Amino acid sequence: MNPSELLSGPVAAIVAMTLATYLVRVSGFWLMGHVPMTIRMRRILETLPGAIVVATIVPIVAKAGAPGVAGIGVTFAAMLLRRNEFAAIALGLTAVALARAGGL
């Protein structure tokens, strides 16, 4: 691959995605600068990250079936008991692996 092909292919794609990401972030800050920050809007913005996590995890768990449900249950319980994200994820992944190995 010669340098001109590299610049026209992968590098151009990376630059385009970088610009798109920057534009989305900047426009979000700009738009929120024009939204009045009422108590209701503040609550919506505080709730949004949890809603995004749930919207991401639920389809994955549904597709994974019983091992996925076991993994989420173990991860949730570990977070309640230990409050350590790394340990909770490790335990959840271990639960999924054991459930799959056990034929669940």
**pLDDT tens string 37-57:** 999 989 988 888 888 888 888
Pair (76, 103) in one structural domain: yes
Structural domain includes residue 40 = no
- On the 0-12 / 13-18 / 19+ scale of CB atoms within 10 A, 71 is buried
Spatial separation of the C-alpha atoms in residues 21 and 15, rounded to whole Å: 10
Pair (20, 61) in one structural domain: no
Pair (54, 102) in one structural domain: yes
Domain count, the chain: 2
pLDDT at 97: 95
Residue 79 sits at the vertex; the CA angle it makes with 77 and 62, to the nearest 5 degrees, is 60
Query: At residue 72, does pLDDT exceed 70?
Result: yes
Instruction: Residue 53: give the domain boundaries.
Output: 48-104
Pair (12, 58) in one structural domain: no
Pair (91, 64) in one structural domain: yes
Pair (30, 54) in one structural domain: no
Pair (100, 74) in one structural domain: yes
Structural domain includes residue 57 = yes
Which amino acid appears at position 28 of this protein?
G
Does pTM surpass 0.85? no
Tokens of 60: 């994955």
Mean pLDDT value across the chain: 88
Query: At residue 4, does pLDDT exceed 70?
Result: no
Pair (29, 57) in one structural domain: no
pLDDT at 2: 66
Query: At residue 103, does pLDDT exceed 80?
Result: yes
